[in-house]
A and B are shown apart, each in its own frame.
Chain A
């Protein structure tokens, strides 16, 4: 849908898993959810997070695919692997920095979130964003997001020295960094503080 973008705000996630169930009910992949749902630190907190595919500008999954099976459309959506080509080698599963692609052994194929291509291509919102009660997963017009949220939307995520630009936005605190690190290793101190290539965590 033109003008609409996907926004993920994990701080809003209440762990209801409505997105997981809604995704499972899709006719194109019935019973397999494309949502990456996580309990962050289950013994100590009730915090949960739900992610969809980030649809990177330079998708690592597609770049590592030895069978040329993962393609990115003109709309910026990185699609599931093409059935005639996918050899179920799991390269993409291992390469994706977000851990999004899933190898389904019964399909012998990698499947991933394609932002409900069947829905968004005909002007409907992705199913997960439609059902999310707290709008932790939201599909709204990009000009509306400053009115709706206190947080700011960023789409550059850092893994060590690599910056990954994505189509899907993450909501971070207004005073937070413009590029956030998702990798826990980025917050560990390594090497000399001023050495080039060292990340200093805040």
Chain B
């Protein structure tokens, strides 16, 4: 075996036995896996900038939602439903299902029918005097729409009603404060 062969074998065996540190601390610039200080700073700056923009966007969006003008629309006639009776109507958009319940002789309440948990339709359970979502057993109070039981995270949005003559007019939607 020649000397060159011996030497080559030695280098080869050293390569085979290459420890993990040799891979991690490679002598080649292309294998550099660690981020430099400048890269990290750039990442932090750009990320925080994106976070700021995102927050600003959310803020703007909620501000715009507060500014929404709701149409006033007649949704029912007084005495149309009996005490304890229910009427479904759409407000404010054509796809926003709402539920109105006549709680006493001259008292009406209306809420969005969309459960705040996963948007199943709630129904009025007359014997319990509650709004119940059958999907996950969420229960809302009929009085103010607050969550009594179950997974819904927020109270039902309320439809503010006004009585003009013999018409019940829906004026706006009202997000009920969380209790």
Contacts and interface: CB of A to CB of B under 8 A. Distances in A.
Partners in one complex: yes
Contact of B27 (A63, A74, A163, A179): A63
Interface residues of A, number: 19
A58 B11 contact: yes
B126 interface: no
A110 to B, nearest CB: 14
Contacts, number: 38
Given A84-B37, A196-B1, A163 B29 contact: no
Q: Is the interface of B mostly helix, strand, loop or mixed?
A: helix
Most buried by B among A71, A73, A199: A71
A127 B25 CA distance: 32
B-side interface size class: 10 to 19
B37 A71 contact: no
Interface stretch (B2-10, B79-87, B105-113, B148-156): B2-10
Contact of B4 (A68, A179, A197): A179
Interchain residue pairs A-B with the least CB separation, the first 7: A62-B27, A71-B29, A68-B25, A163-B7, A73-B29, A161-B7, A72-B27
Given A71-B28, A161-B7, 13 more contacts: A58-B11, A59-B27, A62-B27, A71-B29, A72-B28, A73-B29, A79-B29, A161-B3, A162-B10, A163-B8, A179-B4, A196-B3, A196-B6
